[in-house]
Structure 1
Amino acid sequence: MGSQPPQPLPTPATQLGRDGLAAILTRPEHAVVAIDFDGTLAEIVADPEQARAHPDAVPALAALAPHVASVAVVTGRPAGVAVRYGGFAGVAGLEHLVVLGHYGAERWDAVTGTVHTPAPHPGVAAARAELPGVLDAHGAWRGTWIEEKGQAVAVHTRRAQDPQAAFDALRTPLADLAAHHGLVLEPGRLVLELRPPGMDKGVALSAYIREVGAESVLYVGDDLGDLPAIAAVEKLRSDGMPGLLVAADTVIAELAERADLLLTGPASVTTFLRTLAAHM
């Protein structure tokens, strides 16, 4: 008996998405597959330190990576943290995986196992020192949690009594604090991150695609921080490069509206990636 044919791939809702998928399948060796981590390869959890890649994520990536020009995990986390929480190091098939951490400011290459990190922005330490007072002044200390990220600092409101109210109350004061110290505020799903300017997932993705010399691109994300990457792929498509945009879920309305294909969380993403590999 021959092997069973692969499961069918979902059909993108847009013509641009269908063209992007066709280009990736026709010449996979010239495609970059770029994927967010939290909410995409790993479930969103109340304590970010407990986040881990879905059990099927690494096998799916390892099945896909040998067929394409490159697989890159693009994340707001420090690159080394994403590697540990993802279990990406030393995996057969992922010898050339790249993790672009801190929105591309950091980079880990599986081929060397090393992280390249810029010098820390002085504003991060200054803002971190003031954060407890800002949270207390706005009545948001209880239930919020400060995450140290090295090149950035983040405030999570997921554990607050009213997480969305705490998020909304802190957005303006934390934006002011970030601006005072030469930083930018990056809002996410019940998290507000203060980080240095000049780098986002779109900048990182565009630079990496140029470096690889890719002819097509797939991007999968789920949060506000992924919108610059979405915009970068849209720009590449307007310049003639085929691309497929996938939303890992529909929580962020703008991302879902701009995506060609909608999935339903990390389990759905890993199934899609494994099915994509089977069609190559």
Structure 2
Amino acid sequence: MTTAPDWLIRSALFVPGDDDRKLARATTAGADALIYDLEDAVAAERKADARQRVCAALAGPGPALRLVRVNALDTPWGAQDIRAVGAAGAHGVLIPKCDSPDALQQADALLAGSATRLVALIETPAGVFDLPALTAASPRLAALGFGHADFSHAAGLPDMRSDAGLVWHARAQIALAAKARGLLALDCVGLEVRDEAAFRADAALGRGLGYDGKLCIHPMQVAVVNALYAPDDATIAHAHRVLAAWDAARAQGQAVIAVDGRMVDAPVVAAARRTLARAGLES
């Protein structure tokens, strides 16, 4: 089983890698992670220039987590992207249209000597069908993400709805595979950049499926996602009670206690700390 790093990602905002203005503005968007994009957002003639800009951005200010979506390894830019951003200190590399274990294993080899982790973007029916092999392909794998627009195109579907039919089935399968392997699950983007109600409903659906956070394509989506994925007041209060009781019990040499009628041990305490972290509170 692969082991996810201690990442907290409610919102992950895509940023075009060749746009200095957007690269600078994204650092203040409030996203838990930025995804510098070298793939879909960058024209072929600007790929090398965008790679240099992203490497510079990785060394600059920003949120705690900086990820990069590289070009696929079967393109002229993919291998160079991975080597460059790994050396520049990217926390994670997103492998687009990841539908074979080979892609993750090749990326792993290219990152030798770095601490950079991998995120597999599942964007084809083949990727969903081969999830067991994909999730076991590399110990660097930290998360799965879902790209429903490319999935819809690859599957020959008539629209890009993410809440029904084959896309909904794939969305659920990806979340389940991530949970089975102890990986983070990052939900698909919402294409509704001007319809907040529709975007909120889509984000809520993903949270209900078990996703840990959501991919965003516009800064305005970040606040919606952060609020939706933050724990509610009752959950926060329970976490505080767990930690207070645990601290008191530990002072008396106890390793297992009960809070609100439920057993509390070290894993429950770790979950309580993570709850407070997701709420932006000290644990």
- Please say whether Structure 1 and Structure 2 have the same fold, judged by a TM-score greater than 0.5: no
More helix by share: 2
User: TM-score with structure 2 length normalisation?
Assistant: 0.31
Between 1 and 2, higher relative CO (CA 8 Å, sep ≥ 6) is seen in 1
